[in-house]
Amino acid sequence: MARGRATDTTALVAAAAETFRSKGYRNSTIDDIAEAAGISRPTVYKYTRSKQHLLDLMVDEVTGVMTRQLEDVMSSGEPAQTRLRRMISTHIASATSRRTFYAIVFSEEVELSDAGRDAFRSWAHARTQDFRVLVQECLPPDSPLDPTVVANLVLSMLSTLFRWYDPDGPVGPDELSRQIEQLLGTLLPA
């Protein structure tokens, strides 16, 4: 499964992600993860407290880099439409490059620790609020659209790319961004 022997927590999390994706979280054992990581069961515990801790670390993988990137977009001072385009592209890039982590975090959310679930939901709420603010700035003042509804619909679409998007398929991330921008033409006039 794993390409080499895990020598740190990051590599172990990647091996656990492969295992969870192929077997499911509940059906995966620490022995399965150790095998995928190319290490012994006792060595797994050198890097993590538990299988659930590995799942919580996957939340960090999904949210960490993306948070910094989205904060940069929001604070860039660029026009709202430009920031919204960049935010969509950032979501697409993150969802496609971390596809396995997205699949696990979103499908196994119920298995997260209470702290992991609270952190993930808080993060998702903050990103939705950022997106809502941008949508509000982009909508014409007389728009019948509710920015909260639009933000939730678009972010739901972006968050579930892992379910159907094939990065090796005919539509690349840039084209996917372009098609979403066309769909959102009301918010992003040409």
Q: Which residues of 80-92 are buried (b: 16+ CB within 10 A; e: fewer)?
A: bbebbbbbbbbbb
| Block residue for tokens 């971390």 | 98
Per-residue confidence at 2, pLDDT binned at 50, 70, 90? very low
Looking at domain 52-183, its CATH class is mainly alpha
Task: Give CA separation, 32 vs 3, 27, 70, in Å.
Answer: 15, 9, 35
Q: Look up residue 188 and give its amino acid.
A: L
Each domain of the chain, given as residue ranges in start order, spans 9-47, 52-183
SS3 at position 16: helix
Quote the pLDDT of residue 189.
67
Residues 6+ positions from 113 with CB-CB distance below 8 Å:
52, 53, 55, 56
Per-residue confidence at 158, pLDDT binned at 50, 70, 90? very high
**pLDDT exceeds 90 at position 183:** no
Rounded mean pLDDT, 83-97: 92
Looking at domain 9-47, its CATH class is mainly alpha
Out of 107-111, 149-153, 185-189, pick the least confident.
185-189
For residues 133 and 151, the answer to whether their CB atoms sit within 8 Å is no
